[in-house]
Amino acid sequence: MFGRRKKKGAAEDAAGEAEQVVDSVDTEADEVTGARERVRLEPEPRPDGPWDSSEVRDPGEGRVDLGGLFVPGVDGMELRVEVAGDAIVAATVVLRDSAIQLQGFAAPKREGIWSEVREEIGSGITQQGGIVDEVEGPLGWELRAQVPVQLPDGTGGFHVVRFVGVDGPRWFLRGVISGQGAVQPQAAGLLEQIFRDTVVVRGDGPMAPRDPIVLKLPNDAQMVPEGVQQEEAGSRFSGGMGQLQRGPEITEVR
């Protein structure tokens, strides 16, 4: 930013340095403004979903009603709901050897947050010693990550996951794809279609940006209780809302 001052022509040098400082500050300000604009853009059109409840005539047709989310039903799938405290905040669709966790969050009225969230997730994973690649996939920009985990034998390993997300009107839907759908993304077509066809019910009440959209159990759920704890670190978007407890499993919903 600053050049070394010569002994002669100090006044000229001082003026030149001042211009350099101003130019540098302007450039930095432009970069900061550009970054802010990049992470605060209005949500892009969603011609293929996921959908807002106002965009679908009958959200319950072919979908499981979880209150804040209507999740498409697929033959042979398991649907697990997960809780934080007393609230159900996530649903995980398990299909054969892959799964996708779905979570909805409140968002600003005219600002998308997925770009900003990606940065938070990536930073959290790299700080843990993981590896993150940002790529443009079938659902738009996503993160493909290797997250450090402790294996059952006590040694260290990596869990491969894909973080996908879409900004909607006053909401943000995040998906975490695991299993073969993360290791071999080309095998995740059905999970990606489930994500696209999910309907988000944000509601009209006031919510702070990034608050989770609370879910509920279906009235006719056939439940198998579970008591497995899932520990997640870093950003609240990096794989769960703090610590999530796996709740009832709903099998073969269609």
**Could you read off the pLDDT of 66-102 as tens digits, one per residue?**
999 999 998 889 999 988 888 888 999 999 899 999 9
Q: Which amino acid is at 101?
A: Q
124-163: pLDDT as tens digits:
999 999 999 999 999 999 999 999 998 888 898 999 999 9
Q: How far apart are CA 56 and CA 134, in angstroms?
A: 31
Q: Contact at 8 Å (CB) between 234 and 74?
A: no
Q: Contact at 8 Å (CB) between 81 and 91?
A: yes
Residues with Cβ within 8 Å of 194's Cβ and at least 6 positions away in sequence, in order, are 71, 72, 74, 93, 95, 100
pLDDT category of residue 38 using cuts at 50, 70 and 90: very low
Q: How far apart are CA 155 and CA 151, in angstroms?
A: 5
Q: Contact at 8 Å (CB) between 93 and 249?
A: no
What's the whole-number mean pLDDT along residues 32-52?
66
Task: Tell the residue number behind the tokens 């600053």, with chain if given.
Answer: 2
